[in-house]
Amino acid sequence: MHHELKFIKEEVEKRALNETDKEIIEKSILDGIETAWDRLYKQQPQCGFGLLGVCCNRCVLGPCRIDPFGGEPQRGVCGATSDLIVARNLLDTLATGAAAHSDHGREVLEVLLHTAEGKSQGYQITDEEKLKAVAEDYGIKIEGRTKEEIAKELAVAMLEEFGTLTHGIKFVDARVPEKTKQMWQKLSIVPRSVDREIVEAMHRVQMGVDSDYVNILLHALRTALSDGWGGSMMATDCSDILFGTPTPKTSIFNLSVLSKDKVNVILHGHNPILSEMIVKASEDPEILKLAEQKGAKGINLAGMCCTGNELLMRKGVPIAGTLLDQELAIVTGAVEAMIIDYQCIFPSITFTASCYHTKVISTSSKAKFPGAIHMEFNPGSAYDTAKQILRIAVENFPNRNPDRVKIPEKPMKVMAGFSEEVIRKALGGSYKPLIDLIVSGKIKGAVGIVGCNNPKIKMDYGHVTLAKELIKRDILVVETGCSAVACGKAGLLQPEAADIAGEGLRQVCKTLGIPPVLHMGSCVDCSRILVMASKIAKELGVGIEDLPLGGAAPEWYSQKAVSIGSYFVASGVYTVLGIPPTVMGSKNVVELLTDKIKGLTNSAFAVEPDPLKAADLLESEIIRKRKALGI
């Protein structure tokens, strides 16, 4: 028994950095619950051809694979080489990620349109100032018009850009620095519309279409730009218009946010359209009265992944965790319902829930999960549906088994909600004070750390270690997605974390009363980082590619991360990945992405699993760009 417990403790230490996560991982092992770590173990050894990207199942001439050691075969049945196979696979992956973010954006736009037309239930235009600012980018008349009239024209204009005939995205025209735009024009990668690039990507990977790996990878950059400066940016801005532009909020993170005596509801996924209405319905007197009748002291909402980030920024709703926490939350035995929309939701979630009393409630027509209760969520009946969903959660409260409940007791305080507008306002309305700090060397530069968790890396280790190392070197860190949640769990999203920053950054943070790691939102909100970089570049009269910036995705897993990393690199931001993408089977593709692209975008990809070495790479790049600027 002693040896078994020792093995469990060792296994838990391998899996996670955070102590509250460790508590529940240990419980999952003792309860006999399969999690992502167990499934990864069962997959070993993983397919070497797949890891290198040299396998192809594009058509039924195959599936084909290339010998990575130089033997036969060196071509697929159609004649595709490793360069072509790897490039097509990368474009396919990237297009999936761009489609995921952009389709999210489309849904937000549709709700904005329905709200402007008076056809939605419970929604309203919250930030009229942001509405007018975005409308100006689109050349939409503001004076003498109601906010509903402006919002309708804006929503229609944006929706048209998903498949426009005008061959352009307004945000590119209005927001991208001229020098950066000229770089894109030279490379012929200016995005023409959102859906156009994704559809063309799918066309190009069809056998017998694009067979030039360089041409394929250039289109990959254009597709990524249609996401970052198109679909994702629209999603962020229109969410702000509907629900309010984030302002600094204090809250708490980790699995300790679950309540022992309230109905616990986890909101998991990426779409704020659903979660915002659940928050409203959780305050409904009828629902609260029902909770009391069932023996609960109220409703406790907690976020998971990027739905959590959306709610945190605008409502201060606590976050239970990241991608790898979704099963662990259920394992606590204290979750009455997990409400899901789409993206980053494990198909296994209903299997895990079946081992406890938790109900899983799916809400999107494009994301159904066997074993879940499906309740379609539509804008016209949004509030009614939200109440029905919460009623299911409340009525499940008496089914909780106290003997199987384990809730950690050490929540971590956080400060979040640093939208681009808030940061600029705090600096007095322009980025000159920040520019002056960078010129003086008090802040060397900034790095955006983004992305997910991956069970191949100790949970949160990559994010937290890299962030700590960068701030020690006087490099400001801005974060989105699960990376922001990971650093929040580690205590880096509170002003007191400035104590471990370098002298210059520490002084700045203490003066402003902010953390050295700024939570900027969900994964679509990487667009906030782009906007901030663009405004700084414009104030300096340079391109984004000239700024002392870097990007990193230490624990990424998702196709969305490939798109994000690519639009950062295409915009001129050097980006370090902690896990190799599946391109290593082509020396030419690797060389293009990590070296030759520098001459095109003044940036590149790098792969470095060790976060300390990744910090060296990022600092070196920031110093290189500082020297080029003469600072």
Per-residue pLDDT tens for 375-405? 998 999 999 999 999 999 999 999 999 999 9
Reduce the DSSP state of residue 613 to 3 states and report it: helix
* Model pLDDT, residue 2: 65
Reduce the DSSP state of residue 109 to 3 states and report it: helix
* Model pLDDT, residue 163: 86
* Per-chain mean pLDDT for the chain: 96
pLDDT digits (tens, 9 = 90+) for 148-195: 999 999 999 999 999 876 679 999 999 999 999 999 999 999 999 999
- Which alpha helices (DSSP H) does 48-146 contain, by range? 48-52, 82-116, 128-137
**% of the chain surpassing 70 pLDDT:** 99
CB 523 within 8 A of CB 483: no
CB 114 within 8 A of CB 120: yes
* CA-wise closest residue to 224 among 549, 570, 481, 543: 570
pLDDT digits (tens, 9 = 90+) for 493-542: 999 999 999 999 999 999 999 999 999 999 999 999 999 999 999 999 99
CB 477 within 8 A of CB 505: no
Note if the pTM is more than 0.75. Answer: yes
* Model pLDDT, residue 1: 55
Q: What are phi and psi of 259, to 5 degrees?
A: -105, 145
* CA-wise closest residue to 236 among 130, 148, 128, 338: 130
CB 336 within 8 A of CB 397: yes
Residue found by looking up tokens 């910036």 in the block: 549
C-alpha distances (whole Å) from 532 to each of 181, 418, 478, 547, 564 are 16, 11, 11, 11, 16
Rounded Cα distance between 340 and 393, Å, is: 13
Rounded Cα distance between 10 and 461, Å, is: 16
Q: What are phi and psi of 542, to 5 degrees?
A: -125, -175
Average pLDDT over residues 260-266: 98
Q: Which residues 6+ apart lie within 8 Å of 439 measured at CB?
A: 631
Residue found by looking up tokens 């955006």 in the block: 448
* Model pLDDT, residue 364: 96
Neighbours of 583 (CB within 10 A): 26
* Model pLDDT, residue 138: 96
Average pLDDT over residues 410-420: 97
Neighbours of 366 (CB within 10 A): 8
CB 232 within 8 A of CB 527: yes
Beta bridge partners of residue 144, listed in sequence order = none
Q: Which helix (H) or strand (E) holds 590?
A: helix 587-591
Residue found by looking up tokens 């990237």 in the block: 94
Q: Is the pLDDT of residue 562 over 70?
A: yes
C-alpha distances (whole Å) from 354 to each of 23, 260, 327, 336, 357 are 21, 20, 11, 12, 7
Rounded Cα distance between 527 and 439, Å, is: 25
C-alpha distances (whole Å) from 371 to each of 354, 374, 417, 601 are 8, 9, 35, 47
Q: Which amino acid is at 584?
A: M
Number of residues assigned to the chain:
631
Q: How many CA atoms lie within 13 A of 276 on its CB side?
A: 22
Rounded Cα distance between 617 and 604, Å, is: 11
**% of the chain surpassing 90 pLDDT:** 98
Average pLDDT over residues 65-70: 94
Rounded Cα distance between 222 and 68, Å, is: 29
Phi-psi region of 295 (alpha: psi -120 to 50; beta: other; left: phi over 0): left
Beta strand spans in 276-323 (E) = 299-304, 319-321
Reduce the DSSP state of residue 630 to 3 states and report it: coil
SS (H, E, C) 17-44: CCHHHHHHHHHHHHCCCCCHHHHHHHCC
* Model pLDDT, residue 542: 98
Q: Which amino acid is at 487?
A: C
CB 524 within 8 A of CB 273: no
SS (H, E, C) 144-198: CCCHHHHHHHHHHHHHHCCCCCCCCCHHHHHHCCHHHHHHHHHHCCCCCCHHHHH
CB 279 within 8 A of CB 302: no
Residue found by looking up tokens 């702000």 in the block: 240
* Model pLDDT, residue 7: 86
CB 518 within 8 A of CB 423: yes
- Give me the helix-helix angle, 232-243 and 305-315, nearest 10°: 40
- Give me the helix-helix angle, 232-243 and 128-137, nearest 10°: 150
Establish whether the linkage from the previous residue to 516 is cis, with ω within 30° of 0.
no
Buried b (16+ CB within 10 A) or exposed e, 416-446: bbbbbbbbbeebeeebeebbebbeeebbbbb
Average pLDDT over residues 96-107: 97
pLDDT digits (tens, 9 = 90+) for 280-319: 999 999 999 999 999 999 999 999 999 999 999 999 999 9
CA angle 624, 419, 529 (to 5 degrees): 30
* Model pLDDT, residue 167: 74
C-alpha distances (whole Å) from 472 to each of 17, 122, 469, 497 are 20, 46, 5, 11
Rounded Cα distance between 443 and 356, Å, is: 49
